[in-house]
Amino acid sequence: MLDGVYRVAEATGVVGLGFHAYNILKRPSGLSWLNLFYAAPVGAPFALTLAGFFGRCAVRVGRAGGRLATLFGVPAGRLLTAATAAGIAGTVSEAGLLHFRGAYHDPAMYLPVSIPPVTAGLLGATAVAPKSVPRAPVRGALWATAALGVAGVGFHIYGVSRNMGGWRNWSQNVLNGPPISAPPSFLGLAVIGIAALALMDRNDA
């Protein structure tokens, strides 16, 4: 049953990606910076696909008591590490696009496009050559990315309060201000990355 639920999540994300792409392309000028800024967020639905994929992996690892050698024919730790790197890279792209829309008016807006890319690069290198990359800097980068996911919620809450009417006009400003639910994506992916490294140390390296 769990596997079926996660498959539905994966499919929903793919279908949502298609709807969001259609929403962008049907507008005047089609694929343009203006439409990427203000139309449906193009990469957001794929987070559901990632969630479903990681959920399916968690079920398989859990059934094996954490000692599963492979997932879908690939070493478990390396697959999850690579998928986490890809997920962080995609999240960075979305954050970079929307923060560019905001003209990087606050120096803190540069953090999501500086720390997580380093994390994604270290994770990708670890997935390719697990014995060549020291674990300490990778874990350090993951913890920094996790902290950024928590801090980002505070920054976005503050961003909502800066809109006209502040929280007294919350019903409008929550929709028009920076999305409060977006930064925890970094937290979730960082936690998965930490778990993937632990699994790699146990089974693959």
Domain coordinates in residue numbering, the chain: 1-63, 76-205
pLDDT at 143: 97
d(CA 90, CA 117): 10
Task: Using alpha carbons only, give the angle 131, 76, 50 rounded to the nearest 5 degrees.
Answer: 115
Question: CB–CB of 63/20 below 8 Å?
Answer: no
d(CA 111, CA 156): 13
User: For residue 102, what are the CA distances in angstroms to 97, 148, 176?
Assistant: 9, 18, 12
Token pair 């997935």 is at which residue? 127
DSSP, res 31: S
User: For residue 8, what are the CA distances in angstroms to 15, 17, 51, 60, 204?
Assistant: 10, 14, 11, 17, 30
pLDDT at 204: 54
Phi first, then psi, for residue 68 (nearest 5°) are: -85, 125
Token pair 């859990």 is at which residue? 62
Give the predicted TM-score (pTM) of the model. Answer: 0.88
d(CA 21, CA 187): 26
Task: Using alpha carbons only, give the angle 72, 116, 19 rounded to the nearest 5 degrees.
Answer: 65
Low-confidence ranges of the chain (pLDDT < 50): 205
Helices H / strands E in the chain, number of each = 8, 2
Radius of gyration of the chain (CA): 18
Largest CA distance in the chain: 55
What residue type is 150 in one-letter code? V
Question: CB–CB of 145/190 below 8 Å?
Answer: yes
d(CA 57, CA 54): 5
pLDDT at 85: 96
Beta bridge partners of 70: 75
- What tokens appear for 94 in the block? 């979305």
